[in-house]
Every structure is written in structure tokens, then in C-alpha cells.
Structure 1
Amino acid sequence: MPSEPRQNHLLIIEDDKGRREFNLDAPVYSIGRDPRCDIRLVSQFVSRRHATLVQLPKEDGSYYYRIVDGNLRGQASANGLLINGRKLQTHDLQDADEVVFGPQVRAIYYLLKREAVQTVPPDEFDITLISPGMVGDPEDLGDDEID
């Protein structure tokens, strides 16, 4: 029976507060300076609602995240998003993407894949058979048997 790969979506934030990690699994995340944001960024250069992460389905049943500048109503942030060195309004996140929200404020996205491992319980009747000829009494091997 084939096993499905399991994915973990990880967002590492670095801002004025330090470094924090977020495991992503919710359908939507708000990102910004506002205390009500799901992922709060600590910096005066970040908008209150700077960006939004949206979970979207893939054909294989897994999902990916799209980052959108501003909120879902179309209101963009003041400074925008710099993703992998390019200013973009929206981007489908790929493993190791870097998102810069402002000076000294960035996020790195990681998509961690691992194969689910199926474990089989050990057979309680697993017996290793040894031929009696393979086992000998060490005392039977005297000097007289060595020619």
C-alpha cells in the first residue's frame, strides 16, 4: 500500500522582536503590525495589514500557500512585498522563498516533505533455526583434533 507524502509548511519570521517560527495549516493568515493579525510583525515599517497568506488546493490533494500584498479586499500595503528580490503583488510560495516586508523584517518559507513510513509489527513467531552441526561444545575442540 503506497503512502502519501506529508508536508509541513513553515514560516520563519525575523523582525525587531527576533526570530519566530510558525507552522502553517490554517486556510488564511493575516500578516502585519496590527495586534489582531494572525502573524504579528514588530516594526514601524510594516503596515497594520501588510499581507495575507491563503491556502489553495493542489490536484494531488495537498495544498500550497499564496501570499498577497495587503488584505483580501484589495487594499495594498504601504511598502509592498519584495519576494526573492522582486517587488510582487502576489506569489505562490515555493520552498526557501524570502519575503521582505521592510528594513530588518523578513520571512522565509519552507516546505518540508517527508514520506510517511509504514511500520509493521514484528512477527511474534519469528524463529531463527540453527543446525545442530553448526554448534559445538568448545571443550570438544582439544589440541588432539588439530592436525
Structure 2
Amino acid sequence: MPAQPYQNHLLIIEDDNGRKEFALGEPVYSIGRDPSSDIRLYSQFVSRRHATLVLRERQDGHYYYRIVDGNLKGKHSSNGLLINGRKCQSHDLEDEDEIIFGPQVSAKYYLLKRDVVPTGPPPDEFDITLISPNMMFENPEESSQGN
């Protein structure tokens, strides 16, 4: 059986409180200074609802995250997003993309891939094939000649 790709999405945030890692798996994440944010940023330079991560599916069945400036209702953050040095309203994240939310507040996105080889159930220890002595020879008459 061919190996199936397995993906883990990881976001590493650096802000005024240090460095935090977030393993992503939910369909939507709110990012910002607001205490109710799924991913909270600690800095006076970021908006309360600075960005949103949305899980999307590609045509090949793989998943990725899109980051959107502000919330999903269209309200943008005050400072916007810089992704890999370019100002963006939204961006489909790729492995090692760098996101700047404000001075000294950044994130790095990682897409970790590995192949998972499906394994079947362990072999049945009682699955045996019985062999007749006559099956040892191509011609059944040869078995009677040797005995």
C-alpha cells in the first residue's frame, strides 16, 4: 500500500511574553490582544482582533491555513499584517512563512510533513496452511516411490 502524507501545522509566536508554540488543528483561530482570542498576543502594538486563521482544503486533499487581517466580518486590524516582508490582507500560509503583527510581535508557520505507511492487523498466529506429503512432489506417483 502506498504511503499517505500526514501533516502537522505549527505556529510559533514571539511577543512581549516570550515564545509560545501552537499546534493547529481547529477550523478557525482568532489571533489578537483580546483575552478571548484563541491565540493571544501580548503587546500594546497589536489589535484586539488582529487576524484570523482559517483551515482550507486544496484540490489534492491536503489542508492549509489562510491568514486574514482582522476578523472574518471584514474589520481590519490597525497595523495590518506583514507576511514575508509584504503587507497582505490575506495569505495562504506555506512552510516557514513569517508573519509580523507589530514591533517585536511575530509568528513563524511550519507545515510538518511525513509519510504514514498504513499497517494492517498483525498476522493471525493460527493462520496456517497444512501440507500433505503428496504436495511435496510434482508428480504424486513420486511420493509412493520414495516410501
Question: Normalization by structure 1: what TM-score?
Answer: 0.80
Distance 1:83 1:122 in 2: 47
Distance 1:35 1:118 in 2: 41
| Partner in structure 1 of residue 20 of structure 2 | 20
How do 1:1-147 residues align onto structure 2 when only pairs under 5 Å count? 1-118=1-118
RMSD, aligned CA? 1.7
Deviations 1:2-42 (A, max 9, x none): 12110000000000010000011110000000010000000
Distance 1:74 1:124 in 2: 58
Distance 1:55 1:122 in 2: 35
Question: Normalization by structure 2: what TM-score?
Answer: 0.80
| Partner in structure 2 of residue 144 of structure 1 | none
Give the aligned residue type for 1:81. Answer: L
Distance 1:36 1:122, change over 3 A: closer
- Equivalent residues of 2:2, 2:117 under 8 A apart: no
Distance 1:121 1:55 in 2: 33
Deviations 1:37-94 (A, max 9, x none): 0000000001000000000111222211000000000000000001000111010001
Identity of matched residues, %? 71
